[in-house]
Amino acid sequence: MLLSKRQAAAELARRSLCDFARVCQPAIRLTPFHRTYYNTLDRFAHGQIRRLIVSVPPQHGKSLGSSVLLPAYLLGIAPQTRIALASYNLRLASRFNRRVQRLMSEPAYRDVFPATRLKTSSAKQPNVIRTSDEFELIGAPGGLLSVGREGALTGNPVDVFILDDLYKDAAEANSPLIRDHAWEWYNAVVKTRLHNDSRELIVFTRWHEDDLIGRIAAHEPVLELTASSESYNGKTQAEQWLHLNFEAVKQSPPTPSDPRKPGEALWPERHGIRLLEQKRRLDPLLFETMYQGHPAVREGLLYGDNFKTYDRLPEDTVRRANYTDTADTGEDYLCSVCYEVGRDGIVYITDAVYSPLGMEETEILVADMLLRNGTVAARIESNNGGRGFAREVAKRCREVRVEWFHQSHNKEARILSNAPAVLNRIAMPAGWQIRWHVLYGDLVTFRRLFRANRRDDAPDVLTGIIETESETASRKNIRAVGFSR
């Protein structure tokens, strides 16, 4: 039997959250980001993912998916599901609850899930609850209960727990007392309502590295979700979390779940690169935390936003050079920095290549940069394939003296001990936070606790520049003393 267009749409809506959203929210426009987000929530709805963490930048539509569409969809495909939806206060959680009820009362929803019914004002179901905080389904044990942070769940077993926005603002997230109370509530109240087959979804904007997501990651295994087809099963289901982080500006390498190229915005139609970079300039640490999902605490930073800057390069610089560290594996970046040294000993950074691309591409980028800046000497660390990289770069710019060397000293000790000299002797060009936004972000958010950092490529190169120029100055002084004798 042929289905009508309306029947076909309803059938598709029963099969996936994306199609459900299109039918029940006709005005919605699903961007590639939203499709990935909704597809991940769909896998959660069908039990393929049991413990899911999603971190999303502000104002990117996270709550519509997690706290409105998902509960309504869950109660359609599994009316027996008992859902608890929590937020930082009951008022916000109840607002989500009312939106779910309005959606489930629409004709479009009833076309898709005719058997999932709410109590109506005219119906006589005295034992069925329907308030702004809680509702039950007619003829099925499922329903939705809203609760604020630190609210009670006593006597309410939970099949699916959804936590959307645990902290109201930065002031709450930066309060150790509130973070501690939220953690205690999660363990003493929420976890005690869950059973073997319960599912958990935590979705919010990051505010602090010690927020609930950070504490969970410190106590339990958390796997970064990088492919839309990833799933887990068996014993791992009950133990492991999957974490999907959406960066407002793509910074990490492309993955199947987020194939954007570095520098591309997550939702350019609503939050374009120009707007995001304006926000980054105002507070780079807050931007890294809230918009990139990489929280950093100011008091633990090695450099912070304390770099010297210059508007115009001095005319009497005495040396043009370059220092390069090739990428290793994983999220490492190739970092290559051109600079000029003034007579005052200040190192003026003039150009940079900071990229996760492969060596066959970065060889060209670095060689072009050396020629463009009139570089005289370039030092390239031979670790991690750097020797072959140096040879290829040397072939492309024969007028540059390219040398490679093996760096055998402890990286952590070098970076920490040279940090004061980096801030005192290195000057960045005005506007460098816009010109090299990823490099800037990695430097100003770099923390003294090494294992807390994603990458150390940029600090390693600035440290290498200081070491190189200190050695050069020392050799000159030795020659000068010898000549005077």
Per DSSP, the residues of 175-234 read -HHHHHHHHHHIIIIIGGGEEEEEEEEEEE----TTSHHHHHHHHS-EEE---TT----T
Residues of the chain within CATH 3.30.420.240 domain(s) are 299-481
Q: Which residue has the tokens 């640490």?
A: 285
| The pLDDT value given to residue 484 | 38
Which helix (H) or strand (E) element contains residue 369?
helix 359-372
Residues of the chain within CATH 3.40.50.300 domain(s) are 5-290
| The pLDDT value given to residue 330 | 56
| The pLDDT value given to residue 332 | 80
| The pLDDT value given to residue 1 | 54
| The pLDDT value given to residue 263 | 85
| The pLDDT value given to residue 399 | 93
| The pLDDT value given to residue 483 | 38
pTM confidence score: 0.73
192 CA to centre of own chain: 30
| The pLDDT value given to residue 232 | 47
| The pLDDT value given to residue 297 | 67
Which DSSP category does 301 fall into? B
Distant-in-sequence, close-in-space partners of 457: CB < 8 Å, separation ≥ 6: 325, 327, 332, 333, 334, 335, 354, 442
Class of domain 5-290: alpha beta
Report the C-alpha gap between 184 and 192 in whole angstroms: 12
| The pLDDT value given to residue 235 | 41
| The pLDDT value given to residue 42 | 97
| The pLDDT value given to residue 209 | 84
Which residues of the chain register pLDDT less than 70? 1-3, 121-124, 227-238, 296-298, 328-331, 474-485
The CATH number of the domain covering residues in 299-481: 3.30.420.240
| The pLDDT value given to residue 7 | 83
